[in-house]
Amino acid sequence: MGLLDQVTGMLGGGQGGEASKFQAILSWVNEQGGVQAILDKFRQGGLASVVESWISSSMTNQSISAGQIQDVLGSPAIGALASKLGIDAGKASSLLAEYLPQIVDKLSPEGEVKADNGNDLLAKGFDLLKGKLFS
């Protein structure tokens, strides 16, 4: 049993649970090339200041809209996430708008995104999820 399965089980994440959604998002992030690749797309899409707010330890995270997510990442990428989650692309974009700033913030405690190997991303992502479920 892998780390992801263990954490999902500990959180009681069923197929439709929040842990399952979060697992799908983290897996999708890895499939897109990792956090750094996604952040680079946002920077190239004119949202560098938004990205920097997520990374900076001295700034409040700026929010991002589902529309901005869709514009920057594109329909194929959002469609792949929507398919994983079993929801429509609009809802997938909304979930990313909610979770992505938090994921990046968690992965950048010292003002820079740490290496995003799959296990590190998943472990830190589930630390974040535990805080949401049990706080």
Which tokens go with 2? Answer: 């892998």
CA 22 to chain centre: 8
Quote the crossing angle between the two packed helices 66-73 and 35-44, to the nearest 10°: 100
Sign (positive/negative) of CA torsion 10, 80, 69, 108?
A: positive
The tens digit of pLDDT for each residue in 41-81 reads 999 999 999 999 999 988 899 999 999 999 999 999 999 99
Residue ranges and CATH numbers for the domains of the chain are 35-134 (1.10.10.690)
The tens digit of pLDDT for each residue in 119-128 reads 455 555 555 5
Average pLDDT score, the chain: 78
Average pLDDT of the residues in 23-33 = 86
Cα→Cα distances 36→13, 85, 111, Å: 27, 22, 13
